């Protein structure tokens, strides 16, 4: 009976998006970008609605662009609007390891207000379109050694209020949200912040990560009996507490994770493991990997691909064109705001995952 239900659900959600075409720019396709100024020119930025510059930094209470090189990079990203006039360039702050002072700064009214004023000033100077907060994480442990306090949860709300007051109605405010249960339940006052933000970018990747000791998919669409965390699990939770789905953006990954597996069973899935390294999607060559001993598998419950090398005991978990198409269809069917990914510089410049997102959302274009 369970298999039958899964099959019917899959038919419903796949058929729905094919009938519900989306208008260009009504469905967000958002890429983070931390590459250099010129490499971005090779990518099909016409297929993006948003490009998020990663990252600005905190200096004192202010958001700053650290170096002259970063200034030139950001200025070049803004010129991409000549190719795509509707493209929004968003400033981002934080990232994994990039938000050490966030708790201390944002826990003070003076810090929040000075920060919000600096965001407005930078957007005005660079002619950018808003702010994306990537604080990993309010109120729960994130990067080792970074301060986190119970008060962070409410102070994050106060920070968003200060930003909206400073920026006004037009500039966009978004934040990168952990796609896992402890963040969803403990880091954000969801119903209070809903009117303040345009988007929530769910990081439904790294769900099996560099600290994991049991292997699994790092960016699954659906939960499995062995791995609760997934994009759908996050969406279902937020829907259950009344957060507006039209502000949710699910996440995809243009990189894979390779794990050393200690118990050579179940094709490497859900086994004791140790993270080895990341691998960009543009470097994943299926033919070469198969010649090297990897076997391709598809998990039809998680809707996720993976590769396993039994002789070397190495598992590669990643997104591919098939999983990206299903995630995009899911976002359309659920009437979410869109899909986002980390990051553009790790995708292929042609026939990449961004191309699949766009053609799935706009099959007639």
Whether 110 is catalytic: no
10 Å CB burial of residue 310 (0-12, 13-18, 19+) is middle
The answer to whether 142 and 176 are in contact (CB under 8 A) is: no
The answer to whether 346 and 255 are in contact (CB under 8 A) is: yes
The token duo for 205 is 């990747």
Q: Which of 46, 136, 229, 346 is catalytic?
A: 136
Which residue(s) pair with 251 in the sheet? Answer: 340
Mind giving me the DSSP string for 254-272?
SEEEEEEESS--GGGTTSB
Q: CB under 8 Å, gap of 24 or more: what pairs does 3-12 form? A: 6/301, 12/333
Side-chain half-sphere CA neighbours of 93 within 13 A: 24
Residues with active-site annotation: 136
């Amino acid at each position: 009976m369970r298999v039958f239900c899964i099959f019917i659900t899959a038919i419903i959600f796949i058929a729905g998006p094919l009938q519900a075409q989306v208008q260009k720019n009504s469905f967000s396709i958002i890429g983070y970008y931390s590459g250099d100024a010129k490499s971005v020119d090779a990518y099909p930025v016409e297929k993006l609605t948003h490009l998020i510059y990663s990252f600005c930094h905190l200096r004192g209470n202010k958001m700053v662009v650290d170096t002259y090189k970063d200034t030139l990079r950001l200025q070049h990203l803004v010129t991409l609007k000549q190719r795509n006039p509707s493209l929004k360039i968003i400033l981002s702050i934080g990232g994994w390891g990039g938000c050490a002072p966030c708790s201390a700064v944002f826990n003070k009214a003076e810090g929040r207000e000075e920060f919000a004023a600096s965001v407005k000033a930078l957007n005005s100077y660079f002619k950018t379109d808003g702010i994306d907060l990537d604080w990993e994480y309010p109120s729960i442990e994130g990067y080792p050694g970074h301060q986190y306090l119970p008060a962070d949860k409410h102070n994050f709300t106060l920070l968003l209020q200060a930003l909206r007051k400073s920026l006004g109605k037009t500039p966009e405010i978004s934040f990168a949200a952990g796609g896992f249960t402890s963040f969803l339940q403990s880091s954000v006052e969801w119903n209070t912040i809903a009117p303040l933000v345009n988007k929530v970018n769910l990081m439904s990747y790294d769900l099996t990560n560099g600290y994991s000791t049991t292997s699994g998919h790092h960016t699954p669409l659906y939960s499995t009996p062995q791995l609760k965390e997934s994009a759908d699990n996050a969406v279902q939770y937020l829907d259950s507490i009344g957060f507006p789905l039209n502000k949710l953006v699910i996440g995809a990954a243009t990189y894979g994770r390779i794990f050393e597996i200690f118990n050579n069973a179940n094709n490497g899935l859900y086994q004791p493991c140790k993270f080895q390294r990341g691998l960009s999607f543009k470097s994943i060559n299926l033919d070469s990997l198969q010649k090297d001993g990897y076997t391709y598998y598809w998990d039809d419950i998680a809707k996720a691909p993976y590769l396993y090398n039994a002789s070397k005991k190495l598992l590669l978990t990643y997104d591919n064109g098939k999983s990206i198409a299903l995630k995009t269809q899911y976002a359309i069917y659920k009437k979410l705001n869109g899909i986002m990914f980390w990051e553009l510089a790790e995708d292929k410049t042609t026939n990449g995952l961004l191309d699949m997102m766009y053609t799935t959302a706009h099959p007639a274009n």
